[in-house]
Amino acid sequence: MATSEGLEALSGLRGALERSSTAERVADALRERIIDGALAPGARLSEEALGQALGVSRNTLREAFRLLGHERLLVHRFNRGVFVAEPELADVVDLYRVRRALELDAVRRADRSPKGAVARVGAAVEEGEAAAGRGDWWGVGTANMRFHQALAALADSPRTDEVVRRLLAELRLVFHAMAAPRDFHVPYVALNRRIHRLLEEGRLEEAAEELSDYFDVAERQLVEAFSEEPEGVGEPDPR
């Protein structure tokens, strides 16, 4: 049985838990902005401006920054502030290593995925095709993030979903290295459609093979881009 002293000590944690919950929601919002491409590598985050925009305290915001720092999305620079992380070549290689392990496994197990999971992959494909039709290559990149999140969701694993969401935020920062987003994204619009079609037909091993080749080509393109841009990344805003 808990003692009164123990209960009092636990009650003192309530404020910290509430702040943590708010900080996690702020971290989620900032992560989504990174996935959408709205926050570029090297961008400085203003505590004052973000605090006012989100209606949260500076302490809550700093806790959110700390959470995203653990995810390698933000970095704190002494006496300078908090900045969006700038991925390096080694990050590209490691990201694709982990993505292969998670997404390929999810695709191979898609016959056991939740109802509607394959349809959500298709919805992301359609979003990308619509963006391509408008010439919105920024939007195509965002739809591509949704496509891969939907592939991961085929595993029906909350942990996989969480890890892949964080990986994709890092990956979006990597994509800023591509100086010609249209040329980079065009082939993957059709490849995404093909992978979805294979999933619908239950040809899971073929879908996994397509995705594996897809990863090989994309990784090679990004490695080449980073090799040409040793000082950092800087995708022009295609909007």
CATH of the domain at 118: 1.20.120.530
CB neighbourhood size of 61 (10 A): 23
Residue 17 has pLDDT above 70, yes or no: no
List CB contacts of 145: < 8 A, sequence separation 6 or more. Answer: 35, 168, 171, 172
Rounded Cα distance, 147 and 130, in Å: 13
Domain boundary (84, 101, 126) is at 84
pLDDT at 79: 84
Torsion angles phi and psi, residue 83, rounded to 5: -130, 155
Beta bridge partners of 76: 82
Q: Which of 238, 139, 140 minimizes the C-alpha distance to 189? A: 140
111, 171: one domain: yes
Domain extent for 162 = 89-228
C-alpha 157/C-alpha 232 separation (Å) is 34
pLDDT in tens, 26-47: 898 889 889 888 888 999 999 8
- Proportion of the chain above pLDDT 90, given as a percent: 64
Q: What is the pLDDT of residues 126-144, one digit of tens each?
A: 999 999 999 998 899 999 9
The predicted model scores a pTM of 0.81
Q: Stretch 61-89: mean pLDDT, rounded?
A: 93
Could you give the CA distance from residue 140 to residue 36 in angstroms, rounded to a whole number? 10
The domain boundary residue, chosen from 38, 53, 84: 84
How confident is the model at residue 184, as a pLDDT? 87
Helix (H, G, I), strand (E, B) or coil at 213: helix
Which residue among 61, 84, 107 closes a domain? 84
- Residues 119, 172 within the same domain: yes
3-class DSSP state of 86: coil
